[in-house]
Amino acid sequence: MRTTDSIDGERLRRDAESVFRAGVARVDPRPMVRDTLRIEGDRLTVRLPEGPRSWDPERFDRILLLGFGKAAAAMARGATDILGDRIDGGLAVVKSAPPAPVDRIRIVEAAHPVPDVTSVAAARAMRDLARRADERTLALVLVSGGGSSLLCAPWADGPHAITLEDKAAVTRGLLACGAGIGEINTVRKHLSAVKGGRLAAALSPATVLTLILSDVVGDDPAAVASGPTVPDPSTWADARAVVRRHGLETRIPPAVARLLDDGAAGRVPDTPKPGDPVFDRVTNLVIGSNRLAVTAALLRARELGYATQDLGSALTGEARDLAAHLLGRGLDLARREPPAGAPVCLLGGGETTVTLRGGGTGGRNQEMALAFLAGLADADPALARRLCFLSAGTDGNDGPTDAAGAFADLDLLAAAGRASLVPGDALAANDSYRFFDAVGGLLRTGPTGTNVCDLQVLLVR
């Protein structure tokens, strides 16, 4: 027979999932693109922060669509809803193909988070499409998180050419050492022939409108998918400094080390910088972000009867450190709030990192939930039973797993005990996926078609 506490635990998990899904629904790329683009009379109009801007389609002989990232298919569908047969050709590079085709758009699957030969082939196809552009072309570029891996064009310039294997080795090293997404992209854009503004250079002199779904904290367009149509403020020296800061100088391929050294010495052209003429006809616009998801999730929590605390959309740092902080906040609330008081929802978003210490399987959200659960094991059970935590990725894929994230509460801790599993042991091995799979704590949504970082939901009853 289930106890009242167990039943309450199930309800809290349902509430946490409902809050999370409301945040994800708000950043559905298709309606966001439709809300941004308009055909008004005989003009194509886009909503910009400074006011609407429009173009006369008669100025262009063709409209090309170039999309890449986890949300590329949904964004492309939104664009075709508005532009229809005005689009003369299009390519969307995605991690998982949508169940139905997108009119007039070729869909190509490629690898994420570590690029492979499919990523290189996708980048080659994207460059071929870009070569069709001229001064009477409007290029609609749709960018979302994951694009850095999905579109991979290793630098190839005579003596400084690097291979896909070289670039993949660098990516694996940066991911394993806990480098932030901004650091990773600084390096990747300098090893690429399409990122860091180099796709804009390939499209020049076309008119370029880039719509961006941000998966980075701060929503810097230069960081999303490594900024393929955005001026790159970082330098070869910055990329080399990232590698040195994480102690990777002797662990990256020699060809990459030579490229970074020669780039920093001025012997290899840098990425195009602000003020470069290739950006004279380029417009970049962020249309969706983690902040929108957090706001919608908070609204859903209030609809469910929770008092809310907004933790913001810039939660970063080590996943297990953030888990400890959130656990402390939750226990403090549990101590102060009377048991009969209104339940509380603490909610925020961002993107954490994981420093690999073991050979297990998981992702940053599952790692955070596991660290929360490990801390919960040491807490006063009377307080611990009042908490339910969920951390999940808005894209539906946490790390190389089929789960979006995981829950943490006292019921799951009890299930672990019955299975003779110790959260601290799994945490030491970075083996969160197998742990939560065994105790029934995973949240599986499937690919959501969007990607705006992660959401953390902490409910205190």
Note the pLDDT tens digit of each residue in 108-123: 999 988 789 999 999 9
CA 156, CA 177: separation in Å to the nearest integer?
A: 27
- What does DSSP assign to residue 56? -
pLDDT at 107 over 60: yes
pLDDT tens-digit profile of 321-336? 999 999 999 999 999 8
Q: Are 223 and 185 in contact (CB under 8 A)?
A: yes
pLDDT of residue 338: 64
Angle at 451 between CA 447 and CA 457, to 5 degrees: 90
What average pLDDT does the segment 18-35 reach?
97
Provide φ and ψ at 171, rounded to 5°. -60, -45
**E strands in 113-234:** 137-144, 207-213
Give pTM, 2 decimals: 0.90
Percentage of residues of the chain with pLDDT beyond 70: 98
Q: Which residues pair with 282 in a beta bridge?
A: 208
Q: Which residues pair with 422 in a beta bridge?
A: none
State whether the Cα torsion 409-414-417-418 is positive or negative: negative
- What does DSSP assign to residue 318? B
Q: Are 159 and 237 in contact (CB under 8 A)?
A: no
pLDDT of residue 157: 85
From first CA to last CA, the distance across the chain in angstroms is 22
What average pLDDT does the segment 207-235 reach?
94
What average pLDDT does the segment 207-227 reach?
94
Contacts 24+ apart (CB under 8 A), 85-89: 86/57, 87/63, 87/140, 88/62, 88/63, 88/64, 89/62, 89/64, 89/65, 89/129, 89/132
pLDDT at 50 over 80: yes
CA 288, CA 286: separation in Å to the nearest integer?
A: 6
* Sheet of strand 307-310, all strands in order from the earlier edge strand to the far edge: 307-310, 344-350, 454-460, 387-393, 405-409, 442-443
The one-letter amino acid at 216: V
pLDDT at 134 over 80: yes
**E strands in 341-412:** 344-350, 387-393, 405-409
pLDDT at 4 over 70: no
Q: Are 98 and 67 in contact (CB under 8 A)?
A: no
pLDDT at 3 over 50: no
Taking all residues of the chain, what is their mean pLDDT, rounded to a whole number? Answer: 94
The one-letter amino acid at 190: H
What average pLDDT does the segment 359-384 reach?
97
pLDDT tens-digit profile of 155-212? 988 889 999 999 889 988 998 888 887 898 899 899 999 999 999 999 999 999 999 9
pLDDT of residue 172: 86
pLDDT of residue 89: 92
Greater model confidence, 376 or 336: 376
Lowest-pLDDT range, 69-83, 325-339, 344-358? 325-339
With residue 55 as reference, give the H or E element that holds it: strand 51-55
Domains and CATH numbers, the chain: 4-24+291-460 (3.40.1480.10), 29-153+192-234+271-288 (3.40.50.10180)
**E strands in 300-351:** 307-310, 344-350
What average pLDDT does the segment 358-364 reach?
95
How many residues are recorded in the chain?
A: 461
What average pLDDT does the segment 231-238 reach?
96
What average pLDDT does the segment 138-145 reach?
97
What average pLDDT does the segment 423-439 reach?
98
pLDDT of residue 339: 60
pLDDT at 2 over 50: no
